[in-house]
Amino acid sequence: MSLSQLTPSANGSRLAPVESRYAPLFSFALLTVSCALASFALACATPFAAFAVIAAAMLPLRPALLVVTGAWLVNQGIGFGALHYPIDGNTMLWGAAIGIAALAATAAASAVMRSLPQSGTPLVLALALVCGYGVYEVALLAATPFLGGTGDFTAAIVAQIGFSNVAWLIGLVAVCEIVRLVNPFKRGRTVS
């Protein structure tokens, strides 16, 4: 896939795998399914910064925040329901901190997308991920004086989760591009 194919859509979205009227539903489906997979595979290391960038690249801020909230709810439901996270105050507060951090990452990614030119989408996505991930980690680190877990913020752990977010972002962009290429519901295209 040529990186030049990642061009902004007519409505200003950096990723447009489907028509803009379907973008919120597609984004919600993509991120909740991805979040479910990540939650089972990675538990607490769900790549919310990558999810934030994808949502911000496809949607305006408010819908992007709603989509990321939906993904976070899926993550929490799987964590408490299927993975049997302990139901105690600290675990629930960490869940809330993760949700707040994911929303902050979404806002940061959206701000990067709005402030940079529409050209150069791969670079903008990378910058949005760096900013979103930085905001996400700082927000979580800010919760450690109250909730504990400072030892989980070693350079190795933060880097490993960062690389996971990069991999997830690449995979999600690839899914978006595949859907864009095979989308049978594109305007002006008939389905036989």
Q: Closest Cα partner for 186 from 20, 5, 37?
A: 20
Q: Closest Cα partner for 102 from 46, 181, 29?
A: 46
Measured between its terminal Cα atoms, the distance across the chain in Å is 27
Give residue 39's pLDDT: 81
Give residue 172's pLDDT: 96
Within the chain, residue ranges assigned H as helices are 23-42, 48-58, 61-81, 89-115, 121-147, 155-182
Q: d(Cα 162, Cα 168) in Å, to the nearest integer?
A: 10
The pLDDT tens digits for 156-188 are: 999 999 999 999 999 999 999 999 999 766 655
Q: Taking all residues of the chain, what is their mean pLDDT, rounded to a whole number?
A: 88
Where in the chain are the domains?
16-179
Give residue 43's pLDDT: 65
Return the structure tokens found at 59. Answer: 């949607």
Give residue 7's pLDDT: 45
Q: Closest Cα partner for 51 from 80, 82, 28, 85?
A: 28
Residue 19 has pLDDT above 70, yes or no: yes
CB 50 within 8 A of CB 172: yes
CB 43 within 8 A of CB 83: yes
Q: d(Cα 47, Cα 102) in Å, to the nearest integer?
A: 9
Percentage, residues of the chain above pLDDT 70: 88
The pLDDT tens digits for 27-85 are: 999 999 998 888 888 766 889 999 999 999 999 999 999 999 999 999 999 989 998 89
Give residue 137's pLDDT: 97
Tell me the one-letter amino acid at 158.
Answer: V
More reliable by pLDDT, 48 or 116: 48
Residue 23 has pLDDT above 70, yes or no: yes
Angle at 113 between CA 36 and CA 25, to 5 degrees: 40
Give residue 34's pLDDT: 92
Give residue 185's pLDDT: 61
Give residue 73's pLDDT: 95
The pLDDT tens digits for 136-147 are: 999 999 999 999
Q: Could you write out the three-class secondary structure of 159-174? A: HHHHHHHHHHHHHHHH
